[in-house]
């Protein structure tokens, strides 16, 4: 498997992880004020997931240019 294919597979996994984190945040928002104390933790998880996805997408762009 080439580096390009590996990174694309990683992006697919990270995209699913980010989508799940987004849904967790959305679900939490609909349940408020229940579990309001978990807002920061759930939001941080979503932020981290999307940041990781963005970094991997930048890696893919770099590989495609090379």
Buried b / exposed e across 1-20, counting CB within 10 Å, b at 16+? Answer: eeeeeebeeebeebeebbee
Give me the pLDDT at residue 42, please: 98
Distances (CA, A) of 40 to 7, 18, 23, 45, 51: 30, 16, 15, 9, 16
Give me the pLDDT at residue 9, please: 98
What pTM, to 2 d.p., does this model score? 0.90
Q: What is the pLDDT along the chain (66 residues), one digit of tens a residue?
A: 899 999 999 999 999 999 999 999 999 999 999 999 999 999 999 999 999 999 999 999 999 998
* Domains annotated on the chain, with CATH: 3-65 (1.10.287.660)
């Amino acid at each position: 498997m080439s580096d390009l294919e590996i990174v694309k597979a990683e992006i697919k996994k990270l995209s699913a992880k980010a989508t799940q984190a987004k849904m967790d945040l959305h679900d939490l928002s609909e349940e408020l004020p229940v579990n309001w104390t978990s807002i920061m933790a759930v939001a941080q998880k979503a932020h981290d997931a999307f940041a990781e996805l963005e970094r991997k997408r930048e890696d893919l762009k770099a590989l495609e240019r090379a």
